[in-house]
Structure 1
Amino acid sequence: MHEAFFYRDRAALSAALLPRFAEAFASGQPVAVVARRSRTELLQGALGSDAGRVRWLDMTREGRNPTRLISGVLGRFADEYPDRRVLIVGEPMWPERPRADYAAVVAHEALINVAFADRELSVVCPYEVSTLPAHVLQDAARTHPTVVTSEDTWASLSYRDPVDLAMSFLSDLPEPESVPERLTFGAYELAQVRQLVYAHAVLAGLDSSRRDDLVLAVNEVATNTLVHAGGQGVLRVWRETGRLVCEVSDQGQVNDPLIGRHPTPVASRAPQQQGGRGLLLVNEICDLVQIATASGTTVRMHMNVADD
């Protein structure tokens, strides 16, 4: 069950969710809330002593890369209770969220319907209608089979095929804001890939651990290109406002819409899903990952840096 909950203000949010929490507690369902700190503090205060029965997670940290949410947050929590339905309240959008994240947020919301189609999972996604733009609410209705307000519940007439919708948001990645440095690489240029990424990470001011993380992430994706996509790819690196971006593209064809997102433990994945292991690591490391598979495969990795 995947619901978009449209609420007007903080009071309406707590008034609507408290009965859902009480119902879950009564039926023995584990509950997690993944939201901005202001919303978790609101709900904790409303729950009082029952707040200790909820797993509280900060969406600005756990969901800074929306592409990791299915595997690293929702799936991980559900996997702790394989024989029980769980309730997850996840706040995907708020006004201050960077615009660059939006396509990945919509794709994430759509693909929840695919990833958990056969799982005992209830996901409620709050959207504050008084602060979010109209197009965000329209897209929420397209990604959620059910829409809920304080007054009513209905099947969304705008709901779209989740894979088609996700791919439509990820297939047309915007061109870089600045001219990227470009390197065509094969098996003998993998060291050059790492050196180029490291040099840009130094210039961007990333600390040593973040530099190493970014080099590792790009190396994982470039290695996937060499092994699974004909042995040649293109690396592009550029700066955007507040971010360093590395992109690896190749001619490989991916038919799995959940590549890099599978919520099941790695050890239990089917052989055809093993190519996504490196992407799971990449999703954990980077601040935003965009995976486009409409024409070849493009993996765009973002790391936050201090603004100039």
Structure 2
Amino acid sequence: MLFLDRPGVERVLSPQAAIEALRQGFAGAVEAPLRHHHPLPASPASPAGGTLLLMPAWPAAPGDSAPLMGVKVVGVFPDNPTRAESVVPGPAETVSGIYYLADARSGAPRAVLDGGALTRIRTAAASALAADYLAPRAPETLLVVGTGALAPWLIRCHRAVRPYARVRLYGRDPAKAQALCDQLAGEVGDLAPAGDLQAAVGAADVISVATTATRPVVLGDWLRPGQHLDLVGAFRPDMRETDDQAMRRARVFIDTDGALKESGEMIEPLASGALSREAIQGNLFGLCRGAVAGRGGDEEITLFKSVGTALEDLAAAAEAYRLATSQE
């Protein structure tokens, strides 16, 4: 049985490979039930509590020579990056866990992969996949809002589908934004922190937001015609990264219908009437299968909201397994 730790997953699974694996996954037939979503109690080490996620997926019709199925077990603890190592030893990432991959014909184990690394890469790949259909064709500036572990992968994956001349990074803590820019200096030419968020949003062609915010951080009134807004962070009903005005102004797309049930980003505007179910343009299934049109005119604002799906994990894990075993 293959074991891929964090460096192993990051070594074999490039942004391009992950994006194309997800494209094929959404165009194909995979069973991916709505994830098991279990809140965990707060503790002195984690005042915000945590979330236990269980995400199984399997092929709807195992027709190829080596079909794979799997399940991800992940813990999400928002306080991890700020807690002291002396309080609870272990990883400081917000998201950590494992992915179990098995033969879909026999159940025989095939691999165990680092779940945190897999989640970061496939989440960023889903955003980039959507942007490939929805973002302007020739954008100049990418803005990433948030400086967590997902931010570098959002930069890498978005740059895999569009040739950005500039990348700007905004974080509440300017020191963290600068440190991340320094870390990625060898990968990205024109990369710098953004000081004023509203000004940075106005100057960007694509805005990718990955935070743990419970109140909007990017406002709809800040948006201008021709932009694409990618919303990644809000995965619970009490979380939002933008406001109702953004939903009114944009052509709205989602990754799957899970976004309508899990994220305050969609639940609240649907409840207030700022957004109707009929106004949602489509999802990644429709985009990847050519059943839904992506970006239309140059002046429209597009918005993509993702919450993640087990289909993405299976597609990315299977591709990582295929690449790793082919290199042996």
Structure with the largest fraction of helix? 1
Does the alignment reach a TM-score above 0.5? no
Report the TM range for the smaller structure's normalisation. Answer: under 0.3
| TM-score w.r.t. length of structure 2 | 0.25
